[in-house]
Amino acid sequence: MARIRGPRLAVLLALAALAAVAAAAAVGEARSQSTYIIHLAPDHPALTVARANGGGAAVLGRLLPRRLRAPRPRVLYSYQHAATGIAARLTPEQAAHAAAGEGVLAVYPDQARQLHTTHTPAFLHLTEAAGLLPAATRGASSAVVGVLDTGLYPIGRGSFAAPAGLGPAPASFSGGCVSTGSFNASAYCNSKLIGAKVFYQGYEAALGHPIDETKESKSPLDTEGHGTHTASTAAGSPVAGAGFFDYAKGQAVGMDAGARIAAYKICWKSGCYDSDILAAMDEAVADGVDVISLSVGAGGYAPSFFQDSIAIGAFHAVSKGIVVSCSAGNSGPGEYTATNIAPWILTVGASTIDREFPADVVLGDGRVFGGVSLYAGDPLNSTQLPLVFAGDCGSRLCLLGELDPKKVAGKIVLCERGKTARVEKGAAVKLAGGAGMILANTEASGEELVADSHLVPATMVGQKFGDKIKYYVQTDPSPTATIVFRGTVIGKSPSAPRVASFSSRGPNYRAREILKPDVIAPGVNILAAWTGAASPTDLDIDSRRVEFNIISGTSMSCPHVSGLAALLRQAHPDWSPAAIKSALMTTAYNLDNSGETIKDLATGVESTPFVRGAGHVDPNSALDPGLVYDAGTDDYVAFLCTLGYPPSLISIFTKDSSVADCSRKFARSGDLNYPAFAAVFSSYKDSVTYHRVVRNVGSNSSAVYESKIVSPSGVDVTVSPSKLVFDDKNRSLAYEITIAVSGNPVIVDAKYSFGSISWSDGVHNVTSPIAVTWPSNGGSAAM
């Protein structure tokens, strides 16, 4: 390793000082500068100096010639644990020069990621009835869940109070709470909330000016609500009498109520920047969290693994034994929309639970149309009121300020969904003097219903009912309506779980032979703690403040699984992140509460493994899965090599050498020891063989597992051996599975076929989905 010598060091330190001055005052920064993340070879000589003087400025001294040192580059972060490199403000010219530098693996522009919530406030109460609050959540726990989100609002929130008997933070945790701005660590942190940090260098740099502290808090304090919600879902303490107004009263509790929470604030009003995310992952790894929960990701298609800070940071975290659980995204129902799809990440889709909030429309002619609502104000008391169509009153979408008060005052207004937030449409009706709202879907959203905390008496109906109500308004000489709110109804929904239309789907945009998402978990109408600094709708016109809120999104499903992973980490300290993920996947269930395959709300029919992954998480079964499919860093490197990434780029993920060793490759990327199978056929004669190794983690040292195959249509699946005879606990055995087009000529009408393989010893069923993509189905992404 090269050493930096005296004179050079002086120059570097001087540059560091200049950079520090620049950092202190963001003023004077050239407009042309933007943030870049620079990944360096782990043995890059500049790193030693960078670390010695506590910053990454030295790195730039090595990378930029004197002529390119103006405008002054500014270093935002230096990464050591979740990546190796820095984030800095550079001109495109400086960035290009740096990219060509020796030992520079890659230079990427910083990007804003999104929170994975549908902006659909709704209310629901999650209880033990959903079967997802395992008894094991009671009592002390040493697991630490790192929640990377909008921060956390602990003030007066029982969810973040330390339950009696919870001991001090685990000795393995070296993080802590920062006291800054409106966040008072000595008042807010305790043995439940043991970490609170804030990351805004990338955000502020992108803004071009300091954060407006009248609008958001430059501290770990959550002024948005999302992070408070996700953290309490994963590991909140039990709170009795939770609920929203009269809806769904009961106990609220996180999945792992005994786990500790470390909050890392990375998301701000305009998004969550890669440079800040990577910095937070860097610290979370160094702090020693057990699980990272990240309900954030790309809004569009998944970026390639080596341009994705979440994938890069997660790789390092997983190599340290940390489980990284992420939301799949809310870009469904289109295919290839799942994000956070690297195989080392646990990718979570969203499904419904068994609870609804009906609110009926009763028309003047006596007809009743069912809808949903979480309106919590004064009811209409069955009073029939004049009904108008918003399209006749200036704005069919009920945009703020566009409704004619003369036409809507005192009336119920039929508005169409689209363009603006649903709750905002109700606000527009209210501001124009309207008495209530019926929000109707159009073809774009069909029959998907979302219960919202409207500011006027309002309900939402599907497209079919909406069209009928519209016809009534347009044909009846004096149309009237009222809305009857029926509160909270449990166990009557057609079936549960169902996969939300918004939940992002596979196939995997970056690696089609790795099935994604991995699992589904509750993500629709989830009740959890909320900030006191914003309304439940996050609208300024909404002056309400609530301790709990109900929102929907894969953002909500992810922390459920993060909490379950924390429980599994505690129950099985020697399991790797891959083993924990395997346990959750192979024990997931695929039938709903009516005994049929879990349905997809986007289509109304059966979901597929590209929609529900391996199925819905089943925590109690995951505690004892029988067998696990394990994998480690070396396997993931071999996987990346197999995908064809150049070794120099793979070095972004590894930290042990400057050029990754690609001497080990799989025959195909799907040969990674994954607990699911995705075969991509290139012809109607194709056949793929995948290799797997399973480890006996059950209590029976002489367990015998037999395979049971459900072949996808048009496909023959064979397994060898078909019986696995173990002779000891923790012993591993290999098998191979061949997925081939059936011998006889087949005409397969579908783009995909699905099946499964299950290994059973009579006590455990270890089940993996099999997905087949037929030829000429394009869609594959470039790296």
Task: Report whether 488 contacts 247 (CB < 8 A).
Answer: yes
217 secondary structure, DSSP code: -
Cα-to-chain-centroid distance, residue 710: 30
DSSP character at residue 155: T
- Report the interhelical angle of 633-643 vs 309-319 (nearest 10°): 150
Give the DSSP per-residue string, 407-473. Answer: HHTTSEEEEE-BSB-HHHHHHHHHHTT-SEEEEE--TTTTT-------SSSEEEE-HHHHHHHHHHH
Find the binder of ligand NAG among 263, 561, 703, 737 (CB under 6 A).
703
Give the CA distances from residue 231 to residues 264, 350, 559, in Å, rounded to whole numbers and listed in that order: 10, 17, 7
In the complex, residue closest to ligand NAG by CB: 187
Out of 32, 682, 683, 702, the residue judged to bind ligand NAG by CB under 6 A: 702
Active-site annotation holds for 392: no
Query: How many C-beta atoms lie closer than 10 Å to residue 4's C-beta?
Result: 18
Largest Cα–Cα distance in the chain? Answer: 91
What track of x and - describes contact with ligand NAG for positions 169 through 208 (by CB under 6 A)? ---------------x-xx---------------------
Which one of the spans 48-56, 379-387, 486-494, 734-742 is the region binding ligand NAG (CB under 6 A)? 379-387
Q: Are 60 and 73 in contact (CB under 8 A)?
A: yes
Q: Which one of residues 657, 722, 730, 776 is an interface residue with ligand NAG (CB under 6 A)?
A: 730
For ligand NAG, which is the closer residue by CB, 52 or 591?
591
Taking the C-alpha atoms of residue 566 and residue 261, their distance in angstroms, rounded to an integer, is: 11
DSSP-assigned letters across all residues of 260-310: EEEEEE-EETTEEEHHHHHHHHHHHHHHT-SEEEE-EE-SSSPPPGGG-HH
Query: In Å, how far are 251, 357, 385, 448, 490 from 486, measured between CA atoms?
Result: 21, 7, 19, 19, 12
Active site residue 217: no
CA distance linking residue 561 with residue 577, whole number of Å: 13
Catalytic hit among 351, 395, 552, 555: 555
Q: Which span (42-50, 369-377, 458-466, 699-707) binds ligand NAG, by CB under 6 A? A: 699-707
Pairing of strands 436-440, 458-461: parallel
**Helix runs in 171-262, H state only:** 185-188, 201-207, 226-235
Separation of alpha carbons 479 and 470, rounded Å: 10
Name the residue nearer to ligand NAG (CB basis): 507 or 769.
769
Q: Which of residues 741-770 bind ligand NAG (CB under 6 A)?
A: 760-761, 765
Rank residues 79 and 153 by Cβ distance to ligand NAG and give the closer one. 153
Q: Give yes or no for residue 597 binding ligand NAG (CB under 6 A).
A: no
| Contact between residue 259 and residue 144 where contact means Cβ atoms under 8 Å apart | yes
- Residue 519 Cβ vs ligand NAG, minimum distance, rounded to whole Å: 16
620 near ligand NAG, judged by CB under 6 A? no
Q: How many angstroms separate the Cα of 387 from the Cα of each of 97, 160, 409, 416, 543? A: 65, 46, 11, 14, 27
> Which lies closer to ligand NAG via its Cβ, residue 108 or residue 759?
759
- Find the binding residues for ligand NAG in span 561-590 (CB under 6 A): 574
- Amino acid letter at 425? K
Residues 139-150 as b or e (16 or more Cβ within 10 Å = b): eebbbbbbbbbb
Which range binds ligand NAG by CB under 6 A, 85-93, 550-558, 607-615, 696-704?
696-704
Among 378, 443, 728, 749, binds ligand NAG (CB under 6 A): 378
Q: Show the binding pattern over residues 644-683: x = contacts ligand NAG (CB under 6 A), - = does not.
A: ----------------------------------------
Catalytic residue among 110, 149, 256, 618: 149
Give 172 or 699: the residue with its C-beta nearer to ligand NAG.
699
Output 667 or 704, the one with its CB closest to ligand NAG.
Answer: 704
- Using CB under 6 A as the binding rule, whether residue 704 contacts ligand NAG is answered as yes
Smallest gap from Cβ 699 to ligand NAG, in A, equals: 7
The least CB distance from residue 622 to ligand NAG, in Å, is 12
Residue 540 binds to ligand NAG (criterion: CB under 6 A): no
Query: In 10 A of CB 172, how many CB atoms?
Result: 11
Please identify, using beta-carbon distances, which residue of 238 and 379 lies nearer to ligand NAG: 379
| Residue ranges of E strands in 310-378 | 323-327, 346-351, 355-356, 359-363, 368-369
- CB-count exposure of residue 731 (10 Å: 0-12, 13-18, 19+): middle
Q: Which of 44, 116, 125, 226 is catalytic?
A: 226
In angstroms, give the least distance from the CB of 30 to ligand NAG. Answer: 38
Among 1, 171, 215, 381, binds ligand NAG (CB under 6 A): 381
> Of residues 251-270, which lie at the interface with ligand NAG (CB under 6 A)?
none
At closest approach, how far in Å is the CB of 337 from ligand NAG? 31
Nearer to ligand NAG, 341 or 385 (CB): 385
- Which of 105, 380, 449, 551 is close enough to bind ligand NAG by CB under 6 A? 380
Pick out residues in 100-159 that bind ligand NAG (CB under 6 A).
none
CA distances from 191 to 171, 254, 379, 528, 731 (A): 12, 16, 43, 20, 38
- Is residue 172 flagged as an active site residue? no
Contacts of 627 (CB under 8 A, 6+ apart): 586, 694, 695, 696, 697, 698, 705, 759, 764, 766
**Interface with ligand NAG: number of residues (CB under 6 A):** 17
The residues that touch ligand NAG, with contacts defined as CB under 6 A, are 184, 186-187, 378-381, 383, 574, 700, 702-704, 730, 760-761, 765
Residues known to be catalytic: 149, 226, 555
